[in-house]
Amino acid sequence: MSTHHYDPQATVRAYIMVFVCLMLFTALTVAAAFVDLGQFNNAVAMVIAVTKALLVAMIFMHLRGGSPLNLLWICSGVFGFAIMIAFPLLDLLSRNLLGIPGK
């Protein structure tokens, strides 16, 4: 007996809409690569990438209409990844605070 919950919201129409949105965001990514936004280049690229990742997670990983436990696991994974990124970044950004070379 399977305990998989059928998600009536994940229809063929939803898959086609996600495909169209992903193609539009891919075109937007390519267009943004040719525009010089100064210091905001990385921020714009990350916003587009996170939006595409959320679309994929909501439809293909069945977070929309799925079990709240799935959402908890995804959020805990993202939180763990944020910790792994934050600590080395904090070390890197705080290296010149003393003003002493090599310290």
Sequence-ordered list of residues with C-beta below 8 angstroms from that of 33, at least 6 positions apart, any chain: 45
Averaged pLDDT for residues 21-42: 94
Instruction: Select from 33, 57, 27 the least CA-distant residue to 45.
Output: 33
Verdict on whether the full-model pTM lies above 0.75: no
Measured in degrees and rounded to the nearest 5, phi and psi for residue 84 equal -65, -30
Q: What pLDDT was estimated at residue 103?
A: 58
What one-letter code names the amino acid at 72?
A: L
What one-letter code names the amino acid at 74?
A: I
User: Is it the case that residue 18 has pLDDT exceeding 80?
Assistant: yes
User: Is it the case that residue 1 has pLDDT exceeding 60?
Assistant: no
**Rounded-to-integer distance, Cα 76 and Cα 79, Å:** 5
Which spans in 34-102 are helix H? 41-60, 68-93
Q: What pLDDT was estimated at residue 30?
A: 95
Q: What pLDDT was estimated at residue 28?
A: 95
